[in-house]
Amino acid sequence: MHHLFHLWVYLETSPLLGLTATLAVYTVAVGLARRLRFHPLANPVLVAIALLALLLAAGRVPYSVYFQGAQYVHFLLGPATVALAVPMYANLRRIHAAARAILPAILAGSLASAMSAILIARLLGAPRLVVLSLAPKSVTTPIAMGIAEQIGGQPSLAAVFVLLTGLLASILALPLLRRVGVRDWRALGLAAGTAGHGLATAQLLLQSETAGAFGGLAIGLNGVITALIVPPLAAWLSPF
């Protein structure tokens, strides 16, 4: 017993636990998704998060202890954002050809996401902190956390909203847009990237390289646009 206690003390102070658990559980979740033929509800990210949350609760491991190890995975979001330049460059000619459609589409989608999130949350009586953390939720995690902090929201809450938004968008993107007659992979990818950042883009990338490239472009451009429009929008729409 004494021995086990020492082992636990070691694991609690070492990054090994959080890092190994994250990779192992995600691998299991990907295997499960493959077995269920990539059904949207078997989304490996969603499954992995649910399993890890349950494991932490069962073992009474605080999130800060888990994050000591998981931070190494989290850190890679930065280089991965930079890496989006590669699929963008591969499709530069096609992106250039459609530039006049891309900018208005992302700008309109970005405004629609942020304004509707703020207004719906306000209308239903959410507190200021929640409303301000919802405003940047359609961009990729590091950007959203930065914006939330800047406008007086809570970065960790924003990270959760970003994730839930990405999951919703990866489930809804194809059925919803096909129902209203959007079939162009460029438009599908752009919508997924604008409304659901990397998570929804990764889901479409499994089916179309074109969607992946336009999604990557949308993640980057929407990140820039949202960083510019959300602070004034939040000041205007949430004056309480």
Site residues for other proteins, 52-111, by CB under 8 A, read 52-53, 56-57, 63, 66-67, 70-71, 73-74, 76-89, 92, 94, 97-98, 100-102, 104-106, 108-110
* Options 7-15, 19-27, 34-42: segment touching other proteins (CB under 8 A): 19-27
* 157: contact with other proteins by CB under 8 A: yes
Whether 238 and 126 have beta carbons less than 8 Å apart is answered as: no
Least distance CB 161 / other proteins (angstroms):
7
Is the CB of 1 or the CB of 66 nearer to other proteins? Answer: 66
HSE (side-chain half, CA atoms, 13 Å) at 171? 13
**Residues in region 125-154 near other proteins by CB under 8 A:** 125-127, 129-130, 134, 137-138, 141-143, 146, 150, 154
* 195: contact with other proteins by CB under 8 A: yes
Counting every residue written for the chain, the total comes to 240
* 237: contact with other proteins by CB under 8 A: no
* 42: contact with other proteins by CB under 8 A: no
* 233: contact with other proteins by CB under 8 A: no
Least distance CB 117 / other proteins (angstroms):
4
**What is the helix, strand, coil percentage profile of the chain, to 5?**
85, 0, 15
Least distance CB 6 / other proteins (angstroms):
26
DSSP per-residue string spanning 131-165:
HHHHTTTTS-HHHHHHHHHHHT--HHHHHHHHHHH
Assigned token pair, 25 = 């559980």
Q: Which residues of 127-157 are buried (b: 16+ CB within 10 A; e: fewer)?
A: eeebbbbbbbbbbbbbbbbebbeebebbbeb
* Options 3-11, 34-42, 163-171: segment touching other proteins (CB under 8 A): 163-171
* 41: contact with other proteins by CB under 8 A: no
Whether 10 and 16 have beta carbons less than 8 Å apart is answered as: no
**Residues in region 110-129 near other proteins by CB under 8 A:** 110, 112-114, 116-118, 120-121, 124-127, 129
* 164: contact with other proteins by CB under 8 A: yes
Please report which helix (H) or strand (E) contains residue 82, including its range.
helix 77-83
Residue whose C-alpha is closest to residue 66's, from 77, 81, 55, 82: 55
Is the CB of 5 or the CB of 166 nearer to other proteins? Answer: 166
Rounded distance between C-alpha atoms, residue 31 and residue 68, angstroms = 26
